[in-house]
Amino acid sequence: MKISAIICAAGDGNRLNSSKPTPKQYLVVNGKTIIEYSIDKFLELEIIENIVIAINSSHTEYIHNIIKKDAYKDKVFIINGSNTRLKSVMKGLEYLSASGTTHVFIHDAARPNFSSSLPNNLIIAAKGHDGSIPIIEASNTIKQLKNEKLKTLDRSTIIESQTPQFFEFKAIYNSYRNLAKLTTGVNHVTDDAQVAELAGLKVNTFKDNKKNYKITIYDDLDRFKMESENMSSSRVGIGFDVHKFGEGHNIRIFGVNIPFNKTLVGHSDADVGLHAITDAIYGSIGSDDIGSHFNPADERWQGADSKIFLDHSLLKLEEFGGKILNIDLVVIAEEPNINAYKNAIKKELSGLLKIDVSNIGLKATTTEKLGFTGRKEGIAVQTIVNISVMK
């Protein structure tokens, strides 16, 4: 299967009645925009090859900074949507029609709280069908109001549908293309499953939970803010390392080789930068320092690449349930001047830590010729890492 996702984000969110002019899908909640919660969950799935976001052409300023993220390059594509959800989905399907996509998720940007396991559950539920959708059962008494008369309905036969919804691509694409022939009430079609129903497709269901709600009114936004903040706690770790200079022709710092008339001396490759980061990560989860995990007296680590140590700390972080939010680095040295290498260092760290370069702070300073760094005897690096931990 070649699976893509379409995220509908062209709405203005007028029903939210927010005091801010920003459309609801671009409001920031707990450090990132609402739409990014959905993008990130799809990107966590290695099976997703393309994510197409259908936006309102007047919202370019809001999406611009989001799509600059390194993590979104090569997988996230922006197209202009339309004035209705149906037309926006159709544009997304047309965009993907030449991509070789075999299956597609269709999702609303204002529904950021779906579980990370839901997409895989929908894929499983769709076996033997043309698609599958998440549903919740009605828990309240359901009544129909018509001509000022009430009628109680059998709630055991009533369900609510959610997104993302999952379909075999050609089946849903052809259903959309033929929609005008299938019904005269196109304006009353409210989701993709209804399009599938009208086309006679076989759609299975997966019982989901009520946490996958759509942010429609301000109470929904308040709820998501509260739940998002309660889902994680923040922790901080500090790392500090020092290595002296020796004879050589380059130094290795943060995984980047910098030409220089000296080198750094240590039991491993003496990457003072990665050592400081590794200790900061260990510290953020209350673990022992790098020397406890990798004894410097152990010959196995003689000349070892410090990425081995960093990878171990990241594994421990993952087992702890933590995720790096941002990291701040200070290089303390009279020489060499690393300013010309800052971009290369940030790019390297972005790949190693799996965070965007915008979440990496890197500064260089001196000690005004005081102490061992002032005497040009070595380099020190200080690191602070901020992590979130799911409760």
Query: For domain 3-230, which architecture applies?
Result: Alpha-Beta Complex (3.90)
**What pLDDT, on a 0 to 100 scale, did the predictor assign at position 226?**
82
Question: Which residues are registered as beta bridge partners of 234?
Answer: 388
**What pLDDT, on a 0 to 100 scale, did the predictor assign at position 257?**
93
**What pLDDT, on a 0 to 100 scale, did the predictor assign at position 17?**
61
Sole residue written with tokens 């597609």: 104
**What pLDDT, on a 0 to 100 scale, did the predictor assign at position 218?**
86
CA neighbor of 280 nearest in space, from 246, 247, 324: 324
Asked if 150 and 144 count as a contact pair (C-beta separation under 8 A), the reply is yes
**What pLDDT, on a 0 to 100 scale, did the predictor assign at position 64?**
84
Residues of each domain in the chain carrying CATH 3.90.550.10 = 3-230
Write out residues in the chain with pLDDT < 70, as ranges. Answer: 13-15, 17-20, 229-232, 390-391
Residues of each domain in the chain carrying CATH 3.30.1330.50 = 233-390
**What pLDDT, on a 0 to 100 scale, did the predictor assign at position 311?**
94
Query: Residue 74 region, left (φ>0) first, then alpha (ψ -120 to 50), else beta?
Result: left
Which CATH class, in words, describes the domain spanning 233-390?
Answer: alpha beta
**What pLDDT, on a 0 to 100 scale, did the predictor assign at position 126?**
97
Rounded to whole angstroms, the Cα distance separating 69 from 355 reads 9
